[in-house]
Chains A and B, each alone.
Chain A
């Protein structure tokens, strides 16, 4: 982090103070229930049976909400594992839990800094998603530009993040992303640096220059998952040992409560104890497949499809029971669809209709925020972008990049030609000679759809959007056949709020003190976002942050 930063925090920053006050931890629950004990009598505890009283006293078994009012049964307290059930004990310097876009870089970084490293992974292989990860090139960027970008991201995060962590990404990501590119190439990945090219809107921020290193693991179906598998090969050559199909069960604590290892379960049902001389780094990702946890932290997610599997929030329970603090309710979510049609057209403000075929939004809203209009069970994240055969000329000046009709065929499931650079099971773009036929292909109600288009064309003709107030230069009618539609499904890519950490990515306890031996990175780490949705300002911020914090945390723990 830059030393001449004018906003150095003295003592505890506002973000950390807030999470300590309102976040969820064992300590905060215990102290708050003590204060609220007088209220228990009012609830009629005296009349409940002994059995119910025992159930009510579930604080020993399950986590509690920050006010002590709700039992968080999605985070059961780990049951003790007897020494006789432990088949093997292995000792390393650093244990990384989770082999994804932060775990694999952390393991390699620790190994390159001299540590003996093990990675334990629930899946049979390293797993990650997406293609793009970004960093800032310090040498060719204005410092004012970097600070302007940080300020822009704070705004995107609704000012609910830890600025120190954003700056840590900003000032270290160039080095870290370049390192990931180099090491992944050594593992056989065709990864490329796209530089500043994909970052169209932020090459200058407030008039200042910012340049980027943009790692691209692609095109699809090649993704960062393949990229992390290549990086893992480099890590293995550097001495990192991977243990697959071994979900972590619980942390091992020393006498003073410090974290000294992890117990993991093999496919044979036997346990292995991994001891860590220097530290345990949790990189287990989000909790989108843990329904109860989603309902608690982000009830908005109820009807959306999930893009990932097995993201059950294991690391949250591990860190919570070690004394860690979970960011309070109001976690940040990420919902996208870059697969149904061209990614470069996702934010272009064509007519959008919901699943039934009705216009529902001022289309200048970013795709990353559309999910907020489509949360109900019927829409469940579905909508369609609709345009006619004049789109190449009429939308030519819009931000984004138009794909010509020939190129759109690559996204059409009904077009028989082989697909390139896409997931052919997820493309969902359609063309039709009539609006009714297009409605059927988009799975809309034809009558509703046709009425919506008719109304929209009237608004376009009047040059005034009386229904949603969209600017006149974004109103182009849908009147000349053939007609096009992109049926997008907003599903959960990831959730990106997590455990309270300091700038060493060390978990903090309810007193704001670092928990010895416990580090948290990737989407399990808190403090980096905070808005309702993940911002698409920096294309590849999520993976860029994962790489950067993995790179830095691995090095930090190795040097302890």
Chain B
């Protein structure tokens, strides 16, 4: 199965649109950890999201529970509905977790995101923002 660049582009575009919609409210950045370009943490920071909005203890930041993600981004069922058209299949509704896979399995903030499906499903060639 070949890549489907156009559909992937649309998927990426719809995701960016979805994210921007959420960040449009805008919160001014008081501090931001320097991240690498292309990392979601950098995108969050550029949108004015502060460290403290995700990490309860900024001095000793711990792993962020998924509840934090959905607190801003909304319920995962809605996200799954938005990506229902993605081929070869909807990454946000699967046989392993339903619509409740932990966002952090794929979408990392301070390192490159990964396609968590790929090691087993070698034709699930998703581009992960």
A residues 110-125 with Cβ under 8 Å of B? 123-125
Per the bound structure, the CA–CA distance linking A307 and B120 in Å amounts to 7
Question: Is B88's CB under 8 angstroms from A124's CB?
Answer: no
Question: Is A127's CB under 8 angstroms from B96's CB?
Answer: yes
- Given A123-B97, A425-B88, answer yes or no on A269-B120 (Cβ-Cβ < 8 Å): no
A395-435 near B? 1/0 per residue, CB < 8 Å: 00000000000000000010000000000111000000000
Cβ contacts A to B, 20 pairs, < 8 Å: A123-B97, A124-B97, A124-B100, A125-B97, A125-B100, A127-B96, A225-B95, A267-B65, A267-B66, A267-B67, A268-B67, A269-B65, A307-B120, A413-B1, A413-B123, A424-B88, A425-B89, A425-B122, A425-B124, A426-B120
Question: Is B98's CB under 8 angstroms from A125's CB?
Answer: yes
Q: Is B5 an interface residue (CB 8 A)?
A: no
User: A309: which B residues are within 8 A, CB to CB?
Assistant: 96
Give me 10 other A-B pairs in contact (C-beta within 8 A), A124-B100, A125-B97 excluded: A124-B97, A127-B96, A223-B95, A267-B66, A268-B65, A269-B65, A424-B88, A425-B121, A425-B124, A426-B121
Residue from A221, A413, A424 in contact with B95 in the complex, judged by beta carbons closer than 8 Å: A221
A414 to chain B, nearest CB (A): 8
Q: Is A245 an interface residue (CB 8 A)?
A: yes
Total count of chain A residues near the partner, CB < 8 A:
19
Interface size class of B (residues with CB under 8 A): 10 to 19
User: A245: which B residues are within 8 A, CB to CB?
Assistant: 100
Q: Which A positions have Cβ atoms within 8 angstroms of B? A: 123-125, 127, 221, 223, 225, 245, 267-269, 305, 307, 309, 413, 424-426, 491
Q: Tell me whether chain A's interface is mostly helix, strand or loop, or mixed.
A: loop
- Given A125-B98, A127-B96, A269-B65, answer yes or no on A425-B123 (Cβ-Cβ < 8 Å): yes
Question: Is A124's CB under 8 angstroms from B98's CB?
Answer: yes
Q: Tell me whether chain B's interface is mostly helix, strand or loop, or mixed.
A: loop
Per the bound structure, the CA–CA distance linking A225 and B100 in Å amounts to 16
User: A426: which B residues are within 8 A, CB to CB?
Assistant: 120-121
A132 to chain B, nearest CB (A): 18
User: A413: which B residues are within 8 A, CB to CB?
Assistant: 1, 123
A321 to chain B, nearest CB (A): 24
B64 to chain A, nearest CB (A): 11
Per the bound structure, the CA–CA distance linking A245 and B65 in Å amounts to 12
Per the bound structure, the CA–CA distance linking A267 and B119 in Å amounts to 27
Per the bound structure, the CA–CA distance linking A305 and B88 in Å amounts to 22
Per the bound structure, the CA–CA distance linking A413 and B100 in Å amounts to 29
Residue from B66, B67, B120, B123 in contact with A305 in the complex, judged by beta carbons closer than 8 Å: B120
B28 to chain A, nearest CB (A): 28
Per the bound structure, the CA–CA distance linking A413 and B123 in Å amounts to 9
Per the bound structure, the CA–CA distance linking A545 and B38 in Å amounts to 49
A129 to chain B, nearest CB (A): 10
Q: Nearest chain-B residue to A225 (Cβ)?
A: B95
Q: Nearest chain-A residue to B100 (Cβ)?
A: A124
Per the bound structure, the CA–CA distance linking A407 and B97 in Å amounts to 31
Per the bound structure, the CA–CA distance linking A245 and B121 in Å amounts to 25
User: B67: which A residues are within 8 A, CB to CB?
Assistant: 267-268
Per the bound structure, the CA–CA distance linking A221 and B93 in Å amounts to 14
User: A425: which B residues are within 8 A, CB to CB?
Assistant: 88-89, 121-124
Per the bound structure, the CA–CA distance linking A424 and B95 in Å amounts to 13
Per the bound structure, the CA–CA distance linking A309 and B102 in Å amounts to 12
Q: Nearest chain-A residue to B101 (Cβ)?
A: A124
A504 to chain B, nearest CB (A): 33
A243 to chain B, nearest CB (A): 14
Of the candidates B66, B119, B123, the one having the most CB atoms from chain A within 10 angstroms of its own CB is: B123
Q: Nearest chain-B residue to A226 (Cβ)?
A: B95
Q: Nearest chain-B residue to A223 (Cβ)?
A: B95
A125 to chain B, nearest CB (A): 5
Identify the 10 closest CB pairs spanning chains A and B, nearest first.
A124-B100, A425-B121, A425-B123, A125-B98, A267-B67, A124-B98, A124-B97, A425-B124, A413-B1, A268-B67
